Amino acid sequence: MLDNLASRFFACAAPVLLTALMAPVAGAAESRAASECRSTVLNDEEAEAVCALPTFQTDRAVRFQARFLGSHDDSVVSLRVVTLSGAPVTCKEGSKTESRFEDGEVTLECAVTSPVPRSGGELKVKISMHHLQLDRTELLID
């Protein structure tokens, strides 16, 4: 009888417990909106990405990410110029803005604080690359 009572308790409690444990994970994923940026490969050594900024009510932290494929022992890539609505900006400390001689997939990132944009705000990034392929770019809003 005790075994039957315990199994009924766990059958009822397990879904509730799992839902409660998963809620913070789902909430964290929803707090980061991502939008794909428009990327253009200009030639074998240069690319440019343009990301439209959504409308914010307050200043927001945004992160530009560029993913590359095929990096190897002579590959070099860097985020050269970053502008926010036409004004040059500096990536925050801890951003990974260059890679040299890494193998495989490489992700570069530039974090900045975006002030409340006027209409038509955008983040533009000029990319210098050698011996690897730009896969995709996106803008993450924290």
Q: What is the CATH number of the domain that holds 63?
A: 2.60.40.740
Q: Which two tokens stand for residue 15?
A: 């879904």
Q: What is the pTM of this model?
A: 0.73
Strand-pairing partners, residue 39, are: 49
pLDDT at 1: 53
Mean pLDDT of the chain: 80
Same domain for 37 and 27, yes or no, is no
Same domain for 124 and 114, yes or no, is yes
Q: Which residues lie below 8 Å from residue 48, measured CB to CB, with a gap of 6+?
A: 39, 40, 42, 124, 125, 126, 127
Q: What is the pLDDT of residues 68-127, one digit of tens each?
A: 999 999 999 999 999 998 899 999 999 999 999 999 999 999 999 887 655 668 999 999
Task: Supply the range of the domain harboring residue 3.
Answer: 1-31
Q: Which residues lie below 8 Å from residue 78, measured CB to CB, with a gap of 6+?
A: 97, 98, 99, 108, 127, 128, 129
Same domain for 13 and 55, yes or no, is no
Same domain for 23 and 64, yes or no, is no
Q: Work out the percent of the chain whose per-residue pLDDT is above 70.
A: 73
Q: CA–CA separation, 129 vs 42, rounded Å?
A: 11
Number of domains, the chain = 2
Same domain for 62 and 51, yes or no, is yes
In this structure, the number of other CB atoms found within 10 A of the CB of residue 129 comes to 24
